[in-house]
C-alpha cells in the first residue's frame, strides 16, 4: 500500500524531529525530575585564567626593560613611559595620566590620581586614597588606599590589601593573599587565601565522624551508596552526621554543630549554620547562607546569591570556588581560592 505523499512527508518529518530530540532527553528529564547531586561546574562569568593579563604585562615589562636601572622613555609600540619616585614624583593633576607609569620606589602617588594606562610597581606599593588604576602589577605587596578603583585588573606578587570603599572592577589576584576592608565591591578574585578584615572563625580541628550520631534522610530515594534524593525540605539535626551526598527538591538546613561528609544540592535555599561542617560542595538554585564558625570544604555555587559570615571555605591545601550572581562577604570570611560574582560582589560590615 502506497502512502499519500503528504502522509509520507509528515511521518518522515516526525521521525527526523524525534531523532534530533534524542540528545535532549536527559536534559528534559533533569528539568522535570531533577536527580543530579554533583556540584555545578560554573565558576562565574569567566572561567579562564584570571592572571592572564597580568602575566602578559609582566613579560612585556621584562622585555621592554621596565625592570632595569634606566627605564626607557617609550615602549616598542610607541607608548610613552613615565617614572615616579621620591626624587622625581608625579605631581597632582586633574588630567588623566596617559603614559605607562613605573613606580621606582614606594613613594605614593598623589591622592586622586587617574592612571589610564598600565602601572608597574617595582617595590611595595603604598597607595593613596581615591587613586584610579586601569591596570596594576605589583612586584611585591600592594596596598590600595581607601576609595581606590581598579578598572581592569590588579595583581600582586605579594599581599594585595584593599582599602575601604574601593572598587575592583574586573580581576583582582595575588600570589599570596587578598585582604579586603568593608564596602569593597568586586567581580572576580583569586588568591591562596581571600580574607575580609574582622574576627575570623576559630581554627579548631573538626571532630571525627564517629563522635556524631549517624543520620540518614527520610522521604528519600537511594540513588546509590550514600547518595539520596530527598523530596521536599531537608534538615540535618544538630550533633548529627550525614555520610554521603544529597539532592533535595526543597530547602536544605545543616543545623549548628552538624556534619556532612559529602555534598549538598538544594532546589531551594541552603543554609549551613554556626559550627556545622560540610566537607564537599554546597549548590543551590536559591540563596546559600554560610553562618559564622561554619566550614565548607568544596565549591559554593548558587544561581541567585551567596552570603558568607565569619566562616571558612576551602583549605590551605585544597582551593575552591565561590560563585553566584550576587555575593556578600562579611567580616571574618575566609575563602581559599576564587570568588566570582557575575553581577554584584561586595564586602559588608
User: 50-79 pLDDT, tens per residue?
Assistant: 999 999 999 999 999 999 988 999 999 999
pLDDT for 105 beyond 50: yes
Q: Are residues 174 and 236 in the same domain?
A: no
Return all residues near 199 (Cβ < 8 A) that are at least 6 apart: 310, 331, 332
Last residue within a domain, chosen from 138, 173, 196:
196
CB of 319 closer than 8 Å to CB of 76: no
pLDDT of residue 45: 44
- Beta-bridged to residue 2, according to DSSP, are none
Q: Are residues 337 and 214 in the same domain?
A: yes
Grid coordinates in use for 133?
588604576
Give residue 148's domain range.
Answer: 52-196
Decide if 7 is inside a domain.
Answer: no
Q: Are residues 101 and 217 in the same domain?
A: no
pLDDT in tens, 116-153: 999 999 999 999 999 999 999 999 999 999 999 999 99
What is the 8-class DSSP label of residue 97? Answer: B
Return all residues near 247 (Cβ < 8 A) that are at least 6 apart: 34, 35, 36, 37, 223, 228, 229, 230, 264, 265, 266, 267
pLDDT of residue 31: 46
Average pLDDT over residues 258-284: 97
pLDDT of residue 211: 79
Q: Are residues 151 and 285 in the same domain?
A: no
CB of 330 closer than 8 Å to CB of 313: no
Confidence label for 19 from pLDDT (cuts 50, 70 and 90): low
Last residue within a domain, chosen from 196, 231, 257:
196
Decide if 311 is inside a domain.
Answer: yes
Instruction: Label residue 67 exposed, middle or buried (CB < 10 Å: 0-12, 13-18, 19+).
Output: middle
pTM: 0.85
Decide if 132 is inside a domain.
Answer: yes
Last residue within a domain, chosen from 196, 228, 245:
196
Q: How many CA atoms lie within 13 A of 37 on its CB side?
A: 21
Q: How far, in Å, CA of 289 to CA of 309, rounded?
A: 8
Q: How far, in Å, CA of 41 to CA of 330, rounded?
A: 25
Amino acid at each position: 500500500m502506497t502512502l499519500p505523499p503528504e502522509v509520507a512527508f509528515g511521518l518522515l518529518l516526525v521521525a527526523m524531529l524525534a531523532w534530533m530530540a534524542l540528545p535532549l532527553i536527559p536534559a528534559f528529564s533533569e528539568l522535570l525530575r531533577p536527580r543530579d547531586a554533583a556540584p555545578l561546574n560554573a565558576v562565574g562569568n569567566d572561567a579562564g585564567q584570571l592572571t592572564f593579563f597580568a602575566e602578559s604585562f609582566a613579560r612585556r615589562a621584562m622585555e621592554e626593560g621596565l625592570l632595569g636601572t634606566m627605564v626607557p622613555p617609550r615602549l616598542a609600540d610607541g607608548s610613552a613611559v613615565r617614572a615616579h619616585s621620591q626624587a622625581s614624583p608625579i605631581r597632582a593633576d586633574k588630567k588623566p595620566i596617559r603614559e605607562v607609569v613605573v613606580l621606582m620606589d614606594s613613594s605614593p602617588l598623589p591622592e586622586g590620581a587617574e592612571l589610564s594606562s598600565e602601572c608597574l610597581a617595582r617595590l611595595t606599593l603604598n597607595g593613596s586614597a581615591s587613586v584610579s588604576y586601569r591596570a596594576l602589577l605589583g612586584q611585591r605587596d600592594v596596598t590600595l588606599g581607601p576609595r581606590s578603583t581598579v578598572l581592569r585588573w590588579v595583581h600582586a606578587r605579594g599581599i594585595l590589601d584593599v582599602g575601604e570603599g574601593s572598587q575592583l572592577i574586573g580581576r583582582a589576584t595575588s600570589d599570596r593573599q587578598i585582604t579586603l576592608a568593608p564596602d569593597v565591591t568586586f567581580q572576580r578574585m583569586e588568591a591562596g587565601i581571600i580574607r575580609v578584615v574582622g574576627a575570623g572563625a576559630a581554627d579548631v580541628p573538626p571532630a571525627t565522624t564517629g563522635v556524631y550520631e549517624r543520620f540518614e534522610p527520610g522521604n528519600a530515594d537511594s540513588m546509590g551508596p550514600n547518595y539520596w534524593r530527598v523530596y521536599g525540605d531537608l534538615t540535618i539535626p544538630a550533633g548529627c552526621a550525614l555520610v554521603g551526598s544529597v539532592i533535595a527538591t526543597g530547602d536544605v538546613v545543616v543545623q549548628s554543630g552538624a556534619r556532612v561528609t559529602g555534598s549538598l544540592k538544594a532546589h531551594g535555599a541552603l543554609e549551613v549554620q554556626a559550627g556545622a561542617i560540610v566537607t564537599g560542595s554546597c549548590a543551590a538554585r536559591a540563596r546559600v547562607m554560610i553562618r559564622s564558625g561554619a566550614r565548607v570544604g568544596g565549591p559554593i555555587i548558587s544561581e541567585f546569591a551567596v552570603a558568607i559570615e565569619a566562616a571558612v571555605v576551602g583549605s590551605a591545601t585544597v582551593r575552591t570556588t565561590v560563585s553566584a550572581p550576587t555575593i556578600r562577604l562579611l567580616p571574618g570570611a575566609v575563602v581559599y581560592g576564587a570568588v566570582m560574582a557575575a553581577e554584584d560582589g561586595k564586602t559588608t560590615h
